[in-house]
Amino acid sequence: MASSERTRLQSNQAGRHAAGAAGTSQQERMLLAAAGGSANQAARRRGVGGTCVNVGCIPKKLMHQAALLGQALRDSKKFGWEYDEQGNFSLQVKELFNSLGVEYNVLELDKVDDGVSIQEVLSGITNHRSLPSVFVNKFHLGGSHRTFQKLMHQAALLGQALRDSKKFGWEYDEQAPPWCRDQYFVTASGFRATNRKGVETYCTAAKFVIATGERPRYLGIQGDKEYCITSDDLFSLTHCPGKTLVVGGSCVALECAGFLAGLGLEVTVMTRSILLRGFDQEMAEKVGSYMEQHGVKFIRKFVPVMVQQLEAGSPGKLKVVAKSTEGSETIDGVYNTVLLAIGRDSCTKKLGLEKIGVTINEKTGKIPVNDAEQTNLSHVYAIGDVVEGKPALTPVAIRDRVIGFHVLGPNAGEITQGFAAAIRCGLTKQLLDATTGIHPTCGEVFTTLEITKASGADITPKSC
């Protein structure tokens, strides 16, 4: 029989993704101010921060930066730079071990570009396929001592925070893990959560915030859940993924394919139709063309119908059989890793929301809310990726008003962020024309736009 606890809270937050984490401070303060309470409990399945921090924007940005640095190193040779291809990392690790008096052996590898061959050598010696790698007493510490220093420092801070919390009246089970195996409503004001040790906690609250986010979708074919990984799994791999098939044409699929290829892996993208559905297709095709020029292969208008394991390992070997979306043709290929990025589903269908009458879109699992982020039950709120039905903030089309902005190129995100603020402030074409361009920059082109797409004229710059 599972043990249980009863807790009375003023506000209970289900989920701990980015929106949920924000809810603990901003959203929750608003809720608790009315209720007169001061406590919040988060029932979560994953680390604090959810998708963005753990398996989304942040790790993807780090992986892209790693790929860009590799490209920059290769480009630097054309400008006369010389460097040790083994990298400063090795020197830093040697200095660290020397300062600690640790005995170590150095594996010197020939200067080759074939990452797969290097991984095979490492695998035979250490049973790990990552480079560079650090082992202490045969324990794998990974490829960056700075990363582990930061992780250990953060772990120490979290431990101290838990100890300090007792001084403020917080109570917690020091043995039980904080994440939940099951969480669901049992009454309109009661919520039950069960952790992986089977300990149940029953909470009542005046208000609830649903912030459970979304999880990647599987194909529903033979072998997908057994042998494929998703974009959520990619950043927790303990080995190099090797030759990778990315299934999907979404921004997540292309982002993952891009940085894996940038890190030197053989990457193929398989799509059932177009790239970046919902995006400007001219821009989407330019992205695809650029990726192909940089070594990413594309298999278009095919979908996997079976994934079969040929060889176990880290990574192993997988056979993928795919069928044409336009006929009966089938193809197959062998890969080390198959990564699925075909969409995400809202994590709301096992919360028991139907028991208390919260309206949910049966197909998508998303929850309609009003402008105050309330569901059809005034004491239940929803925020983040699970929300549906908010009206789009469509700008009013004024003559000459800038109502959209597209840029494809280096630092596109940085450029767009600045222009986004200007558009919100009522940017017009006249204001852009009157702005002095900062030369030479990528963004200055928007101060000299003269050719319309409808004209069909050549947009190639005639001078700098």
Q: Name 184's bridge partners.
A: 192
Q: Which of the residues 128, 239, 406, 439 is marked catalytic?
A: 439
Structure tokens that stand for 348 in this block = 């709301």
Cα gap 69→61, rounded to integer Å:
12
Q: How far apart are CA 145 and CA 129, in angstroms?
A: 17
Both tokens assigned to 106: 């150095």
CA gap 207, 378 in Å, rounded: 8
d(C-alpha 337, C-alpha 159), whole Å: 36
Output the CA–CA distances (angstroms, integers) from residue 66 to 287, 291, 317, 374, in the order listed: 20, 17, 26, 41
Catalytic site includes residue 439: yes
178 prior amide bond cis, ω within 30: no
Determine the Cα–Cα distance for residues 192 and 43; give it in Å rounded to an integer.
Answer: 9
Q: Sheet with 11-14: list strands edge to edge.
A: 40-43, 11-14, 207-210, 380-382
Q: Give the distance from CA 150 to its chain's centroid.
A: 20
Whole-number Å distance between alpha carbons of 448 and 399: 19
Residues with catalytic function: 439
